[in-house]
Structure 1
Amino acid sequence: MKLPAIKGFDEEAFNKYLKNTGWLMFGKVLSLIVGLFIARYLGPDLFGDLNFGLSLVAILAAIGALGLDTFIIREIIKEPAKRDEILGTSLWLRLITNAAAIPIAMAIYYISHKISKNPGEPLTIMVGLLALASFFKSFNVIDAYFQSQVQSKYVVQVQNICLIISAVVKLILIYLGLPLIYIVLALVFDGFILALGLVIIYQKRGFNIFRWNFNPDRAKSLLKQSSPLILSAVMVSIYMKIDVVMLKEAGSKAVGIYSAAANLSEAWYFIPVAIVTSVFPALINARKTDIERYHKRLGNLYDLLVYICLPVGIFISFTADFIIHLLYSNKFEGAGAMLSIHIWSGVFVFLGSASSQYLIAEGYTKIAFYRTAAGALVNILLNLWLIPKYAGIGASIATLIACFISTFFILLIPKTRQQGIMMLKSLFLITAFQKIFKR
């Protein structure tokens, strides 16, 4: 994939890091299309139940990831000879945590269902199965290894094969007219085949997962380093997903309509993740050898992400109603207004993804936690106020404000303020105009 030239970027290196993005985009687009079929098939009520379960489990799944991905990458780059120990320890930590999350998710849902003013149909079994699907994500440590070697293309290939199989299975279920629980079982199957695929590709690359080993000292070290990121990841999940959970009090239909808008709005969030993940090793290397180049790369990264998200935000704002009607017919009326608001959260998600890598590279993991905690707290408080008044519209506004606060919280901290100013300059296209007039 060839990117347009951007002044200040090492074009050859940048394209090397991002050449797999086209395949990643294919996978995400396929997932979006299948998701649209599922939404139209289930309708607002059942689609709302499914997304409520997914959102509840996503919050717990953030704990199960243990914030280890970035540290796995860093540790393997630092100690390549200890690969099997690092991966084995990380895998066992995740397996244990994710296994414990299954009964916890079911218990949390069961208790909340009992005390709810608008309980609806019980979904305990569905929540348990969705938590089981998250259990298989423990094997994403293999993905982290390939990222450390700048070889994510192998993982993308596995993901796309699994997505094609998954899409076929789900479309067959829809064609047969089977109930919601079968869609949930298909999601469990998705998790299983992806984990299996990751193991197979790792083995095919000449490695052996059975040589992995668990080291208690390594486990303590990894958990000590990642503990702020565990809490940070939970806070990210809360401010991204708590709106769906809290909206359940307004009924499954309200959740379904809002989810239809939010899923479209969030469908492109893989772009900053793909870009930032790809360039993270280059940023780390630049920081070691040339601080000025390191900061220049960060600034160019902020610019690139803004160049991508601003046109999309403007376009979606003016066409949201048409898009919702085109994709969902008349089943999700009201989702257009929510989409036109929610889409702007992406601007801050994009910039937040990039600045998170800066915080990690500098060892500012506590600041990463504080800013996401601030976003989560603001989202919860705004949802408590806005959802009873405006339902899904209120949830969209709360998410937008929370994302803004989370991203630019670093302006409040003297040692990170310069990065916040760099992001603001990118957001308001100041650096873009500076580059234009320098020419």
Structure 2
Amino acid sequence: MIKIPAIKGFDEQAFQKYFKNTGWLMFGKLLSLIVGLIIARYLGPTGFGDLNFILALVAIMAAVGALGLDTFIIRELINEPNKQNEILGTSLGLRVIVNALLIPITVAFYLFFYDQVEVKATPLTLLVVLLSGASFFKSFNVIDAYFQSQVKSKYVVHVQNTVLLVAAALKIIVVSLGLSLFWIVLVLFIEGFILAIGLIAIYQKKGGNIYNWTFSWERGKGLLAKSFPLILSAVMVSIYMKIDQVMLMAVGREAVGIYSAAANLSEAWYFIPVAIVTSVFPAIIHARKTDLPRYKKRLGNLYDLLVLISLPVALFISFFAEDITMLVYGEKFPGVGIILSIHIWSGVFVFLGSASSQYLIAEGYTSISFYRTATGAIVNVVLNLWLIPLYGGVGASIATLVACAVTTFYLLILSKTREQGIMMLKSLFLISSIQKLKKH
């Protein structure tokens, strides 16, 4: 298990409670990374480009299907525990409806884009349908939100890792048998289905009875009214994180594959800020209600912690990117090292952005969350239009880095969020960490 660094201001005993399952989460993500690397080497740049092109399209659409509800479900369950069945039933109902509608919409969007880029070497339409179906099963992630609200994420992590092991074995079998990309996508579909069944089963055993869930239009309207800015924000986040693969298809399928190989390595550790921020969010919300100075202190310490994790990793990867990519991919993915050395720095801003997103939710600044992610998405698209024709994947990685930085420090623009922006700047340049060391 991971030990939390001894940073002054952290209630170590309390925070250790939230992090006790991080080791299992890391195991799952590491396994996913290893299997992903095996698939990348097996498919090569072209096949891997096809896969990631479709995954990017589906991810952008899937951001709508989540409805921005996860954090609000947690907050509603904490505030109204006696309304558990109504909150969960309504959230699931909304997601099922929207995700079902998104399947034909995603296929139609793909067919339009397919005609534009003329990706005719592989029949990918069926793969889009399957991956859209896999995204539909994510509707049941409302159960994950329930366990997070109870600080019992270990149950979900165990289910996820079990499913992950099964899916990993199936993917390795596909590769061993030399089967086509279709079979890899089919495994992804099966993985999504099994995970949904697993979440239902663990809820039935540890949470309650899903058959007691109820749907309330009034509750649904209230949830959507609160989360609507976050839906748009999630779409914008997906755009500036995934639009690179879509726009790179204009350069070629191989370019998408090479860039995706670098991005997958660079983004492999993004679960860390999500795990940390998700775990401490209930404690931050509690401090917001009871002790404002403690609330601000916890946010500042959270920024410091995330920088102290992300900065050394970015430095190390930048210096050894060529060696790492040669070791991982061999000579199949030429030019991936330089892309990785640039893209890895986006992680520093992603870490800080994950924490500040929770601050915006805690303060009720959901509209600001949308505007800042929209700004980042626009910056990324504009820079991609300029840099991709000139530099291909390298240009896309620069665009992503700049977009992540702009999104994170958008808070500096507004007077009511400027204090948080300054806190993040102090953390980024290690000013607050140095000040704490001097006090020791």
Q: TM-score range by the shorter chain?
A: over 0.9
CA distance in 1 between counterparts of 2:174 and 2:430 reads 47
Mapping for residues 236-255 of structure 1, pairs under 5 Å: 236-255=237-256
Structure 1 counterpart of 2:107, which letter?
A: M
Matched residues, number:
439
Structure 2 counterpart of 1:235, which letter?
A: M
CA distance in 2 between counterparts of 1:326 and 1:160 reads 26
Mapping for residues 255-274 of structure 1, pairs under 5 Å: 255-274=256-275
CA contact (8 A) 1:351 1:407 kept: yes
- The reply to whether residue 191 of structure 1 matches residue 192 of structure 2 is yes
- The reply to whether residue 433 of structure 1 matches residue 408 of structure 2 is no
Mapping for residues 418-429 of structure 1, pairs under 5 Å: 418-429=419-430
Unpaired runs of 5+ residues, structure 2, are none
CA distance in 2 between counterparts of 1:32 and 1:278 reads 22
Aligned residue for 1:97? 98
Aligned residue for 1:325? 326
CA distance in 2 between counterparts of 1:178 and 1:116 reads 26
Cα distance, 1:142 vs. partner? 0.1
Q: TM-score, normalised by structure 1?
A: 0.99
CA distance in 2 between counterparts of 1:187 and 1:387 reads 30
CA distance in 1 between counterparts of 2:27 and 2:274 reads 15
CA distance in 2 between counterparts of 1:430 and 1:155 reads 37
CA distance in 1 between counterparts of 2:356 and 2:181 reads 39
Aligned residue for 1:281? 282
CA contact (8 A) 1:264 1:339 kept: yes
Structure 1 counterpart of 2:60, which letter?
A: I
Aligned residue for 2:405? 404
CA contact (8 A) 2:117 2:249 kept: no
CA distance in 2 between counterparts of 1:433 and 1:78 reads 38
CA contact (8 A) 2:72 2:223 kept: yes
Aligned residue for 1:228? 229
CA distance in 2 between counterparts of 1:61 and 1:205 reads 28
CA distance in 1 between counterparts of 2:230 and 2:118 reads 34
CA distance in 2 between counterparts of 1:266 and 1:119 reads 29
- The two structures, once aligned, show a CA RMSD in angstroms of 0.8
Structure 1 counterpart of 2:145, which letter?
A: A
Q: Which moved more, 1:206-215 or 1:152-161?
A: 206-215
Aligned residue for 1:39? 40
2:390 partner SS: helix
Mapping for residues 12-411 of structure 1, pairs under 5 Å: 12-116=13-117, 120-205=121-206, 207-411=208-412
CA distance in 1 between counterparts of 2:146 and 2:427 reads 32
CA contact (8 A) 1:117 1:249 kept: no
CA contact (8 A) 1:142 1:198 kept: yes
CA distance in 1 between counterparts of 2:403 and 2:112 reads 27
CA distance in 1 between counterparts of 2:272 and 2:5 reads 16
Residues 384, 118 of structure 1: CA spacing in aligned structure 2 closer, same or farther, 3 A cutoff?
farther
CA distance in 2 between counterparts of 1:112 and 1:25 reads 36
Unpaired runs of 5+ residues, structure 1, are none
CA contact (8 A) 2:321 2:340 kept: yes
2:215 partner SS: coil
Structure 1 counterpart of 2:178, which letter?
A: G
CA distance in 2 between counterparts of 1:118 and 1:78 reads 50
Percent identity, aligned pairs only, is: 70
Deviations 1:16-43 (A, max 9, x none): 1111111000000000000001001111
CA distance in 1 between counterparts of 2:387 and 2:431 reads 34
Cα distance, 1:116 vs. partner? 2.4
CA distance in 2 between counterparts of 1:119 and 1:357 reads 43
CA distance in 1 between counterparts of 2:113 and 2:127 reads 15
Structure 2 counterpart of 1:296, which letter?
A: K
Cα distance, 1:123 vs. partner? 1.5
CA distance in 1 between counterparts of 2:170 and 2:119 reads 33
Deviations 1:117-167 (A, max 9, x none): 665434111111111000000000000000001111111010000100010
2:9 partner SS: coil
- The reply to whether residue 416 of structure 1 matches residue 417 of structure 2 is yes
Cα distance, 1:372 vs. partner? 0.2
Cα distance, 1:315 vs. partner? 0.2
2:29 partner SS: helix
Q: TM-score, normalised by structure 2?
A: 0.99
